[in-house]
Amino acid sequence: MIKSISALGFAILMALINTGCNSPSGSEVKQKDSVTSISGVNEGLAKTPPMGWNSWNVFGKDVNEQVIRETADAMVSTGLRDAGFIYLVIDDIWQGERDSATGQLHEDKRKFPSGIKSLADYVHSKGLKFGIYSDAGTKTCGGLPGSYGFEEIDAKVFADWGVDYLKYDYCYSPDYVSANNDYKMAIARYKAMGDALKKTGRPIVFSICEWGPRSPWLWGKEVGGHLWRTSYDVADIWDRPNNEHSPIGILTSIDAVANLSRFAGPGGWNDPDMLVVGLKNSGYIKGGGCTDTEYSTQMTMWSMFSAPLMMGCDVRNMSENTRKILLNKDIIAIDQDPLGKQAIRMFRHNGLEAWKKPLSGDRFAIAVFNRNENASTISVGGDDLEIEDSTQYNARELYESATAAKRFHKLTTRLSAHETKVFILSKKS
Ligand code: GLA
């Protein structure tokens, strides 16, 4: 442990960082689409946290094929796809009826007159991947047919349609009614779909949406999952405490995922829920809205957590600030760093926090974060951050490089209310 950080000769300097974010090309998408072998077909997926867009936060029950096509177009024209946001996921309320004779699940033809398969083809033609939603219970959370007892039939339909990602919810599952939070039941229900997906032979990212009560981080990977929700739904609100009946705020979601670092890594990620960035209380989920500073904090902290980055705003109509927050390549590179480590909270005092995330190339990211309602100055030393005293580092502050040009024996910086700043430390050569 070091006594004084001045021994490190820390200097805040501009330093190049690796911006190796996930930017797919059409050929890469095709290559990943090709089926290799049935066993282990879903292994090797989600080596970095999945990035994309999900329909729920903004469109909710009003999702339809036109908005999905327009969203696919916008993901390309805005540069989101090339920044790494490649999954386009239709959430709940796409379903029509289940055929009572064959068990086949159909789309709602009024909303998807051309059919899901043709929509998936369109999404793929844009160099994106296509995701869909179902539920481990008899009904989805929106009350439409769930996959309970129909896992194999549904998985096959999804694979035939060209689905690359399945979000799988937990409403109306057998133990949901008794609310006994039975791990065994959840494991069995998610394994049934995980196995069915593998059996299709198509690589499909499996997103477990059980919300956390049955600790899916303990068994998510074992049932074929690549990510698992760690809390209830996040609404477009900064601070609302945990509860089973209404969505939570960004702060509560941060605290729910905070101590789960050891369960995140390549192939299996903690999922603190989708991004509310850019919603401005205009979407389906509401909550009152957040400031751009708060949205920026969500994007930054999700990246510090190696969390999936699933956008939820209307990407056809983004403000300049929303665009800047979502397309910040340096922040995305933190999320997509190949080491896949989730940040650890190293320091907390008077509502000020410092988080540390190891990065590839002997670097790490330090995020400093102000939970308070007023501006405050944070000061963290090497002891707090557990930085070796024998090593010198260059540091780069990602949002405001200009403010960072000073030597220090502590990392000291002023943060406005709810603001987060990130420093990348790399060893001095
Ligand atoms: C649950 C999930 C949400 C969303 C809705 C859809 O609440 O947690 O993310 O998928 O269901 O009904």
Per-residue model confidence as pLDDT tens digits over 108-131: 999 999 999 999 999 999 999 999
Q: Is there a contact between 317 and 283 (Cβ–Cβ < 8 Å)?
A: no
pTM of the predicted model as reported, rounded to 2 decimal places: 0.89
Which of 91, 169, 175, 384 is labelled catalytic? 169
* Residue 37 in this model has a pLDDT that exceeds 50: no
Alpha-helix residue ranges (DSSP H) falling in 78-224: 116-125, 151-161, 174-178, 183-200, 216-219
Read off the tokens for 16: 């190049």
Distance of CA 101 to the CA centre of its chain: 38
Cβ of 59 below 6 Å from ligand 1: no
Q: Which helix (H) or strand (E) holds 153?
A: helix 151-161
* Residue 14 in this model has a pLDDT that exceeds 70: no
Q: Which helix (H) or strand (E) holds 369?
A: strand 363-370
Cβ of 94 below 6 Å from ligand 1: no
Q: Is there a contact between 209 and 167 (Cβ–Cβ < 8 Å)?
A: yes
To test the pocket of ligand 1, the residue of 141, 246, 273 to mutate (highest count of ligand atoms within 8 Å of its CB) is: 141
Active site (annotated) includes residue 335: no
Q: Angle CA(270)–CA(271)–CA(273) in degrees, nearest 5? A: 160
Cα–Cα distance between 360 and 341 in angstroms, integer? 10
For residue 145, the one-letter residue type is: P
* Residue 35 in this model has a pLDDT that exceeds 80: no
* Residue 20 in this model has a pLDDT that exceeds 70: no
Q: Which helix (H) or strand (E) holds 190?
A: helix 183-200
Cβ of 60 below 6 Å from ligand 1: no
Which of 91, 92, 154, 233 is labelled catalytic? 233
* CB neighbourhood size of 295 (10 A): 26
Percentage of the chain modeled with pLDDT above 70:
84
* Residue 27 in this model has a pLDDT that exceeds 80: no
Read off the tokens for 333: 């590179």
The pairing of strands 376-380 and 411-415 is antiparallel
Give residues with Cβ within 8 angstroms of 393, minimum separation 6: 8, 10, 387, 425, 426, 427, 428
Ligand 1: centre distance to CA 209 (Å): 8
For residue 35, the one-letter residue type is: V
Cβ of 276 below 6 Å from ligand 1: no
Q: pLDDT-derived band of residue 179, with 50, 70 and 90 as boundaries?
A: low
Residue ID of nearest Cα to ligand 1 atom 11: 141
* Residue 342 in this model has a pLDDT that exceeds 80: yes
Q: Angle CA(234)–CA(236)–CA(241) in degrees, nearest 5? A: 50
Q: Is there a contact between 356 and 365 (Cβ–Cβ < 8 Å)?
A: yes
Active site (annotated) includes residue 121: no
Residue ID of nearest Cα to ligand 1 atom 1: 141
Tell me, what's the pLDDT at 19? 27
Among the listed ranges 23-27, 201-205, 283-287, which one has the minimum average pLDDT value? 23-27
Cα–Cα distance between 256 and 98 in angstroms, integer? 36
Cα–Cα distance between 176 and 173 in angstroms, integer? 5
* Residue 175 in this model has a pLDDT that exceeds 90: no
Q: Which atom of ligand 1 is nearest to the CA of 273?
A: 9
Per-residue model confidence as pLDDT tens digits over 241-280: 987 778 999 999 999 999 999 999 999 999 999 999 999 9
Between helix 292-304 and helix 250-257 the angle, nearest 10°, is 10
Cβ of 271 below 6 Å from ligand 1: no
Tell me, what's the pLDDT at 295? 98
Q: Which atom of ligand 1 is nearest to the CA of 274?
A: 9
To test the pocket of ligand 1, the residue of 57, 58, 231, 233 to mutate (highest count of ligand atoms within 8 Å of its CB) is: 233
3-state secondary structure of 349: strand
